[in-house]
Chain A
Amino acid sequence: MKMTPRIWFATLAMIIVVSLATAQDMPRFRWENFTTANGLPDNHVFCVVVDGNRIWAGTENGLGLYENGTWKVFRPSDGLAHRAVLSLAVDKRTGDLWVGTMGGLSRISAGRIDNFTQLNSGLSNDIVYGVGVQGDFVWVATAAGASRLNTRTGQWALFNERNTPMYEIWTYAVSPAEDKVYYAVWGGGVLEYDVKTEHWKDYNDPDGETELVLMKDQGLIHEITTSVSYVNKILWVATYFGASRYDGRYWHNFLQKDSGLPSNFLNQIKAVDSNRAWFSTDKGLAYYDGSNWAVYRPALDTHKPEMLVRDAEGTVKKIVVQTAPAHNYILGVDFQGDDLWVATAKGLSHGLRQHSSTKDDSTEAAQAVRARKLTQKR
């Protein structure tokens, strides 16, 4: 078919409209950042979890609870197992918070703190990188394998090289669900536990322990896994060398060079549903909606707030924004409705979702100023 001028212009217009629509549709946020200046226990924030209107932030020097506009801090003097908080999980049924630290696992239940360590309980190791709750079980990722606590009986089960295909025992993150439990094993790929059959299965990089990607989309992108997120029977995996998505049959790998990922170095991945996920990288926070990407960060060069949108065609647009997360180095994210809470290397960031497309940057800027004033006032 010969492309007439009319068709050519129509196509171009469509591309422009789609492109603009992509930029408009990607979620936009006004960022409010918290640091020690306004009550955060420490600026090195390792993890964050949302429990309704309560925000828990695990930092290098204590656990912070943000509620009703103020921070409350928990440290060992308050009963916490250790001041360095590496992971968090809320038991949605009971409201209990499980806290993975560098000195054991703490449970905070309506203000009471109980600690589980390798000395006083069946926990395999006190370095607790990851924790997750599924039903009556608490799944723990430690520096010496996986542990599972049955909260009804108090019984522990340990999973390591003796009884699973775990050839490295440095478990880094866990994502439990009703049917499967996934572990990110740092240097050992991904382990899958089938709840029904109680069998373990491992997923590894078909390229071996190399940083080469010889067989893209044929398996896990790399063995050094840092995070797993299992939602709607889709597994998402973060590694230090890219990300992977697995639907039970097909793998898809995401690399900086051929996706909107700002970096292949990922600390966390958190899925929204089967197609959408958030990626915490060392060069910003990334969002993938199934075809388009967005990145939120202070610009790497100017450090000014930046939002980049990359469409399915690979076209990248820079959106003018007035605010950004506290730092490029992102360690974790959790959702509060449409809002985001983001753990960074220099503070905790609250991304307030901006829904109105008519809201211009000046409005955002004004809101940001107001937010800053409010924060300073607090």
Chain B
Amino acid sequence: MQLATTCRGKAKVTVSIASALALTFVLMLLAPTAKPASPRSEAGINERYLSPIEMALSPDGHLLYVVCQASDELRVVELASGKIVSTVSVGHVPRGIVLSPDGRHIYVTNAWSDTVSLIDATTLRVVRTLPTGFEPTGIVCDRSGVTLYIANRLSSDISVIDVNTGQEIKRLLAGRGASYLALSADGKWIYGTHIYPNAGAFRTQPNSEITVIDTARQAVVERKRLNNVAGVFHVALSVDGKLGVAAQLRPKNLIPLAHVEHGWAFGDSLSLFGDDVGGTVQVPIDELDRYYALPWGVAITPDKSKMFVTTAGSESVTVIDVRKLLDFAHTRRQPLTSNLANDLSASANYVTARIPVGRNPRGALLSPDGTRLYVANRLDDNISVIDTSSVKVISTIDLGGPKTVNALRRGEQLFFTADYAFQGQFGCANCHLDATIDGLQWDLEPDGFGKDIVDNRSLENLAGTEPFKWNGSNPDMPTECGPRTEKFFYRSQSYNPQELTDLVTFVYSLPYRPNRYRLANGELTPAQERGKAIFERTKYKNGHPIPEKNQCAYCHSGPKYTNQQQVDVGTGKSTDRSPVIDVPQLPNVAYSAPYLHDGSARSLEEIWTVFNPKDTHGVSNDLTKDELNDLIEYLKTL
């Protein structure tokens, strides 16, 4: 089955293919527990896409280094010709790139290998690979060229690595989901952002931070609090160091999502900081009736006249007049600072253009002279080159990815676009950031304020975990992604059958992230072994049998550690319409805090120390603290 597509614009599929996929969808509806065919087994599905995500320029500006996330490569583009001149294999799921100040070395973070590849810029060979924290993402190199700073998304910290020795000197505490870093022009400060909000009290506004590192001390010296902000993406600084900007999401997760119709699901905005603004000011980039979802990459021109923001869900680049922005911020910040980011009429004062680019635009990189902006279109495998004067795309660099767009890729494109939602407000990837979670609890359904609060669940390796939703009311993924999405989320057009099948194919294809708590040899540590015995025990410590349904391994059974049933384990709240909860899968449970269906348990410990007073969610009250710790150590290995 060959899928015919155009390389730009929406995928077009032959009628026969569409029919076949529609049939597949119908069959799935008829047999709710059936799983879609393994995407890898379909003809034409084994394409190896590139998914360019970040870029860097050689010091002379002749070469563009492009990090290709899906192909585990660094592709080198000669800008004069637009040709790929080299391809360097790096680690798994590369995410970040930086050059040494002298341009002789290229450093690429490998998110799923927990390493950074050191590449000789002359020979374009990986000369060393150094360990980092969990899921390294953003990276900067200090002015001396000696020290690397790497934001580790899963361990929520920043590795400080001495390039000469290859040793990690120390690990600095960051916010949750540390992901992007920017070095000030004078080299004195590093600013870090985070894609998940910091832990907070249940049902309170999320907050994040911009972590400020003093490079002389190699220590965090400030945390700029970002109120009512969850996902924060790239951060950039003006050359004079007086203006900083971070792209961010302001979620409205405390109110029912029915308010999508009223424009309040997400606010796409920027945090401005630095001497030019004084303090931190949040400003929107949305318009009254149109949203620019998932602001991701940011860049400020050297003359500080313009700011560019890629909107990953809206396939565009937002252009901002910096002078107008600052004038507006100064005029409006008092006494309306807290409300400014919610004033959707504001952007008309400083947004001067929206430039259409490719699908899922991520990294934004300016040429040193500021005349060209390069945008990595992650799901089109190409780079848009924008003339910053005319603010138009003047060329597109094809990175040499597959020329066909298969079902998996189409599904991925659907997952990351906000095109289907009312006014383009958001897409799947708004809550499932980079196809993971967002660390938030949502009031999804129009059942009244504060009813049925649900925590965002992981999407990793979902096949075999049906049904879906915390109450288990969606029997299969087509229902989860189709009518539910249309009804409760988008309140706009929904997917046609073929699109839905593509989307489901993509969602089901999402693999487990590497588990960092298992030993390399596959064995368990003594603590994990003891925890396993507790997880699998059938008797109380006094020897009496534990009722089968109250044994951990009864509900959390099978390869995904779920029996796919719905049970009342006493964790329901008075605000829940029913205390019956779908048994969640457990693999990689360590990464998905907070816990329980409503996210009320901030840690794995609290599931039992706070929310299991009557031993209804497994038997835990006869455990010592040591034993509970052992159980948790085991759960982290699943």
Same complex origin of A and B: yes
Kindly state whether residue B84 has any CB partner on chain A within 8 Å: no
Contact flag A119-B606 (CB < 8 Å), given A94-B219, A162-B626: yes
Instruction: Using CB atoms, name the residue of chain A closest to B609.
Output: A119
The CA of A136 and the CA of B172, in the complex, are separated in Å by 10
Q: Does the CB pair A95–B217 fall under 8 Å? A: yes
Kindly state whether residue A120 has any CB partner on chain B within 8 Å: yes
Digit string of A342-366 for contact with B (CB within 8 Å is 1, else 0)? 0000000000000000000000000
The CA of A124 and the CA of B605, in the complex, are separated in Å by 12
Digit string of A114-150 for contact with B (CB within 8 Å is 1, else 0)? 1000111110110000000000100000001000000
Contacts of A109 in B (CB 8 A): 173, 220, 223
Q: Does the CB pair A158–B171 fall under 8 Å? A: no
Instruction: Using CB atoms, name the residue of chain A closest to B629.
Output: A122
Q: Does the CB pair B171–A152 fall under 8 Å? A: yes
A-facing residues in B149-198 (Cβ within 8 Å): 155, 157, 169-173, 198
Instruction: Using CB atoms, name the residue of chain A closest to B610.
Output: A119
Instruction: Using CB atoms, name the residue of chain A closest to B133.
Output: A152
Kindly state whether residue A249 has any CB partner on chain B within 8 Å: no
* Partner among A94, A144, A156 whose Cβ is within 8 Å of the Cβ of B173: A94
Digit string of B334-367 for contact with A (CB within 8 Å is 1, else 0)? 0000000000000000000000000000000000
Kindly state whether residue A5 has any CB partner on chain B within 8 Å: no
How distant is A76 from chain B, measured CB to nearest CB, in Å? 13
How distant is B615 from chain A, measured CB to nearest CB, in Å? 16
Kindly state whether residue A107 has any CB partner on chain B within 8 Å: yes
How distant is B593 from chain A, measured CB to nearest CB, in Å? 10
Q: Does the CB pair B625–A118 fall under 8 Å? A: yes
The CA of A151 and the CA of B209, in the complex, are separated in Å by 20
How distant is A93 from chain B, measured CB to nearest CB, in Å? 4
The CA of A144 and the CA of B625, in the complex, are separated in Å by 10
Q: Does the CB pair B632–A94 fall under 8 Å? A: no
The CA of A122 and the CA of B222, in the complex, are separated in Å by 28
Size of the chain B interface, CB-CB below 8 angstroms:
33
How distant is B67 from chain A, measured CB to nearest CB, in Å? 25
Contacts of B212 in A (CB 8 A): 110
The CA of A154 and the CA of B602, in the complex, are separated in Å by 14
Kindly state whether residue A155 has any CB partner on chain B within 8 Å: yes
Contacts of A157 in B (CB 8 A): 527
Contact flag A158-B626 (CB < 8 Å), given A122-B632, A151-B171: yes
* Partner among B217, B527, B605 whose Cβ is within 8 Å of the Cβ of A121: B605
Contacts of B633 in A (CB 8 A): 155
Kindly state whether residue B88 has any CB partner on chain A within 8 Å: no
Kindly state whether residue A370 has any CB partner on chain B within 8 Å: no
Q: Does the CB pair B222–A111 fall under 8 Å? A: yes
Instruction: Using CB atoms, name the residue of chain B closest to A95.
Output: B219
Contacts of A152 in B (CB 8 A): 133, 155, 157, 171
Q: Does the CB pair B173–A111 fall under 8 Å? A: no
The CA of A96 and the CA of B172, in the complex, are separated in Å by 9
The CA of A15 and the CA of B605, in the complex, are separated in Å by 66
Contact flag A107-B173 (CB < 8 Å), given A119-B605, A120-B606: yes
Give the tally of cross-chain contacts (CB within 8 A): 74
Contacts of B209 in A (CB 8 A): 112
A-facing residues in B611-631 (Cβ within 8 Å): 625-626, 629
B-facing residues in A63-122 (Cβ within 8 Å): 93-96, 107, 109-112, 114, 118-122
The CA of A154 and the CA of B199, in the complex, are separated in Å by 15
Kindly state whether residue B516 has any CB partner on chain A within 8 Å: yes
The CA of A171 and the CA of B527, in the complex, are separated in Å by 22
Q: Does the CB pair B629–A158 fall under 8 Å? A: yes
How distant is B33 from chain A, measured CB to nearest CB, in Å? 37
Q: Does the CB pair A110–B157 fall under 8 Å? A: no
The CA of A116 and the CA of B527, in the complex, are separated in Å by 20
How distant is B147 from chain A, measured CB to nearest CB, in Å? 13
A-facing residues in B218-258 (Cβ within 8 Å): 219-223
Digit string of B198-214 for contact with A (CB within 8 Å is 1, else 0)? 11000000000101100
Kindly state whether residue A264 has any CB partner on chain B within 8 Å: no
Contacts of B217 in A (CB 8 A): 95
Kindly state whether residue A4 has any CB partner on chain B within 8 Å: no
Instruction: Using CB atoms, name the residue of chain B closest to A107.
Output: B173
The CA of A107 and the CA of B140, in the complex, are separated in Å by 26
Q: Does the CB pair A110–B220 fall under 8 Å? A: yes
Kindly state whether residue B603 has any CB partner on chain A within 8 Å: yes
Among B133, B170, B626, chain A packs the most CB atoms within 10 A around the CB of B626
Q: Does the CB pair A110–B625 fall under 8 Å? A: no
Contact flag A112-B223 (CB < 8 Å), given A122-B605, A153-B516: yes
How distant is B172 from chain A, measured CB to nearest CB, in Å? 6
The CA of A95 and the CA of B223, in the complex, are separated in Å by 13
Kindly state whether residue A160 has any CB partner on chain B within 8 Å: yes
The CA of A152 and the CA of B602, in the complex, are separated in Å by 19
The CA of A357 and the CA of B632, in the complex, are separated in Å by 61
Q: Does the CB pair B625–A124 fall under 8 Å? A: yes
The CA of A114 and the CA of B209, in the complex, are separated in Å by 14
Contacts of A144 in B (CB 8 A): 625
The CA of A125 and the CA of B211, in the complex, are separated in Å by 31
Contacts of A125 in B (CB 8 A): 625
Contacts of A124 in B (CB 8 A): 625-626
Contacts of A94 in B (CB 8 A): 170-173, 219-220
Contact flag A120-B171 (CB < 8 Å), given A152-B133, A156-B629, A158-B626: no
The CA of A120 and the CA of B602, in the complex, are separated in Å by 7
The CA of A94 and the CA of B174, in the complex, are separated in Å by 11
How distant is A52 from chain B, measured CB to nearest CB, in Å? 10
Q: Does the CB pair A111–B609 fall under 8 Å? A: no
Q: Does the CB pair A111–B223 fall under 8 Å? A: yes
The CA of A239 and the CA of B169, in the complex, are separated in Å by 37
Contacts of A95 in B (CB 8 A): 217, 219-221
The CA of A309 and the CA of B566, in the complex, are separated in Å by 76
Digit string of B356-387 for contact with A (CB within 8 Å is 1, else 0)? 00000000000000000000000000000000
How distant is B139 from chain A, measured CB to nearest CB, in Å? 18
Contacts of B223 in A (CB 8 A): 109-112
Q: Does the CB pair A120–B605 fall under 8 Å? A: yes
* Partner among B222, B609, B626 whose Cβ is within 8 Å of the Cβ of A110: B222
The CA of A136 and the CA of B157, in the complex, are separated in Å by 12
The CA of A154 and the CA of B133, in the complex, are separated in Å by 12
How distant is A143 from chain B, measured CB to nearest CB, in Å? 12
- Shortest beta-carbon contacts, A-B, top 10: A119-B609, A110-B220, A95-B219, A93-B170, A122-B629, A109-B173, A120-B603, A110-B223, A158-B626, A112-B223
**15 further contact pairs, Cβ within 8 A, besides A114-B199, A122-B605, A122-B629:** A93-B219, A94-B171, A94-B220, A110-B219, A110-B220, A110-B221, A111-B223, A119-B610, A120-B605, A120-B606, A121-B605, A124-B625, A151-B173, A156-B629, A158-B625
Which residues from chain A sit less than 8 Å from chain B, CB to CB? 93-96, 107, 109-112, 114, 118-122, 124-125, 136, 144, 151-158, 160, 162
- 7 A-B pairs in the complex with CB atoms less than 8 angstroms apart: A95-B217, A95-B221, A110-B219, A119-B609, A120-B605, A121-B605, A158-B626
